């Protein structure tokens, strides 16, 4: 039986937490969009005799691939090989990995949690690299006048988060540190834009969110941070690919590594330029994005033993809470590049 990431998350969350009624319409819209998206593409060569002509890359509204796309080095390197690059935008990591599973994209980037859900669902992904940790880049926010003063006060409250994203695990760890269980809160699964509206409208009591939405919400609403990811999680961004594609095209992966490093250099040396480029795409003020660009580490790091260990802890935690239906061995989804 075919299992998608979103259906896996839905079944797991039904076992583990109480579903919030108004989330269904948004989830349906995402699933419908993905069905239309996945049906509109034909897979590229994955290791057969057909010559590779196009590489399809999935990216999100904010992340390292946005900068890679803007900087242009990836296109230049592949154009020299007669290969074109197509870019496809996704609202979040789980949806991006649905497309990878459907054969609609070859490469993509997500946070820590989406690959865990995807691997549990049988998606043929592999980790190919990661950015340095950025634990302060995710936090739990409450309104500035909220009576909630600590994570322990979240017991019985509604907490918005993007299901299957980095903050899913971060929230688990923050609750654990405060002596609470996941079942002690009422999770409200919403993508960032909908979560911001619910947060400002008072439909939820707290919001687990990441940058740039974190810093933007603080600046716009005066929201308070209950706790960020420091000393709790790594908060890494991962570079991922379809296993067959990665195994068949190591030259493309090397070009991607070089391009991420080039984009990282640009972001470090000229953060204002990067912020100006991303601002209209993300809908966030240039000054906020520049602040984030200056403090957020970047670059292409290999998947080493410590990274695998960190990912395995996330997988084990999700399995113990019935958020995924089977145990996941992270190292099985790692290919060491020469």
pLDDT in tens, 172-185: 999 999 999 999 99
For residue 302, being part of any structural domain is answered with yes
Closest CA relative to residue 257, chosen from 309, 298, 312? 298
Residue whose token pair is 């790594």: 234
- Rounded CA-CA distance 47/237 in Å is 27
- If asked whether residues 286 and 311 sit together in one domain, one would say yes
Query: What 3-state DSSP class applies to 26?
Result: helix
Confidence of residue 166 (pLDDT cuts 50, 70, 90): confident
Let me know whether 249 and 199 are in one domain.
no
| CATH for 301 | 3.40.190.10
Residue 93 in domain? yes
Q: Which of 52, 110, 62, 112 is nearest to 86 (CA)?
A: 52
pLDDT over 90 at 9, yes or no: no
- Cα–Cα distances (Å) from 165 to 11, 118, 138, 170, 252, in that order, read 16, 11, 11, 9, 27
Q: 125 and 47 share a domain?
A: yes
Q: Which of residues 209, 228, 247 is at a domain's end?
A: 228
**pLDDT value at position 29?**
36
290 within a domain of the structure (yes/no): yes
The answer as to whether 298 is a domain residue is yes
Sign of CA dihedral 168, 93, 141, 10: negative
Indicate whether 210 and 245 sit together in one domain.
no
Is 172 in the same domain as 315? Answer: no
DSSP string, 94-139: HHHHHHHHHTS-SEEEE-SHHHHHHHHTT--EEEEEEPPP-GGGEE
Q: How many domains does the chain have?
A: 2
Cα dihedral value 297, 120, 318, 309, nearest 10 = -50
> Could you report the per-residue pLDDT of 90-110, keeping only the tens digit for each?
988 888 999 999 999 999 999
Which pLDDT does position 321 carry in this prediction?
Answer: 83
DSSP annotation of 232 reads: T
End residue of a domain, out of 177, 201, 228: 228
Classify residue 203 by burial, with Cβ atoms within 10 Å: 0-12, 13-18, 19+: middle
173 and 233 Cβ atoms separated by less than 8 Å: yes
Question: What CA–CA distance (Å, rounded) separates 121 from 114?
Answer: 11
Any idea how long the chain is? 338
Residue ranges making up the domain that contains 223 = 135-228
Q: Is 39 helix (H, G, I), strand (E, B) or coil?
A: coil
Are both 266 and 255 inside the same structural domain?
yes
Nearest to 26 by CA among 14, 18, 34: 34
Backbone angles phi, psi at 15, to 5 degrees: -75, -35
Q: Is residue 324 domain-shared with residue 182, that is, in the same domain?
A: no
Quote the pLDDT of residue 336: 63
Domain membership flag for residue 188: yes
pLDDT at position 47 over 70: no
What pLDDT, in 10s, does the model give residues 279-335? 888 788 999 999 998 988 899 999 999 999 999 999 998 998 888 999 999 999 998
Residues 46 and 69 both lie in one domain: yes
Mean pLDDT of the chain: 85
pLDDT exceeds cutoff 90 at 239? yes
Residue finishing a domain among 228, 248, 271: 228
Confidence of residue 61 (pLDDT cuts 50, 70, 90): confident
Residues 47 and 116 occupy one common structural domain: yes
What pLDDT is attached to residue 311? 96
The reply to whether 91 falls in a domain is yes
338, part of any domain = no
**195 and 223 share a domain?**
yes
């Amino acid at each position: 039986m075919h299992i998608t990431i979103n259906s896996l998350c839905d079944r797991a969350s039904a076992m583990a937490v109480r579903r919030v009624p108004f989330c269904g319409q948004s989830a349906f819209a995402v699933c419908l969009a993905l069905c239309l998206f996945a049906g509109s593409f034909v897979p590229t060569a994955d290791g057969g005799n057909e010559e590779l002509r196009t590489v399809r890359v999935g990216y999100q509204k904010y992340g390292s691939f946005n900068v890679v796309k803007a900087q242009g080095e990836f296109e230049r390197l592949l154009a020299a090989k007669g290969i074109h690059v197509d870019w496809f935008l996704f609202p979040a990591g789980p949806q991006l990995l649905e497309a990878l599973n459907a054969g609609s994209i070859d490469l993509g980037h997500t946070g820590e949690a989406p690959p865990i859900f995807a691997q549990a669902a049988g998606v043929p992904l592999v980790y190919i690299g990661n950015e340095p940790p950025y634990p302060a880049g995710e936090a739990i926010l409450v309104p500035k006048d909220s009576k909630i003063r600590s994570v322990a006060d979240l017991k019985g409250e509604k907490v918005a988060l993007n299901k299957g994203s980095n903050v899913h695990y971060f929230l688990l760890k923050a609750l654990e540190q405060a002596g609470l269980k996941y079942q002690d809160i009422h999770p409200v699964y919403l993508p960032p834009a909908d979560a911001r509206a619910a947060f400002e409208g008072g439909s939820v009591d707290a919001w687990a969110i990441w940058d740039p939405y974190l810093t933007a919400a603080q600046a716009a609403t005066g929201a308070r941070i209950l706790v960020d990811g420091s000393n709790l999680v790594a908060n890494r961004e991962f570079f991922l690919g379809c296993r067959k594609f990665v195994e068949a095209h190591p030259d493309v992966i090397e070009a991607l590594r070089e391009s991420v490093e080039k984009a990282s250099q640009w972001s470090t040396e000229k953060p204002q330029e990067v912020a100006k480029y991303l601002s209209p795409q993300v809908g966030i003020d240039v000054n906020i994005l520049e602040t984030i660009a200056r403090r957020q580490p970047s670059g292409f790091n290999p998947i080493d033993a410590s990274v695998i260990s960190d990912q395995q802890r996330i997988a084990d935690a999700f399995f113990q809470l019935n958020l995924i239906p089977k145990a996941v061995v992270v190292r099985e989804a790692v290919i060491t590049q020469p």
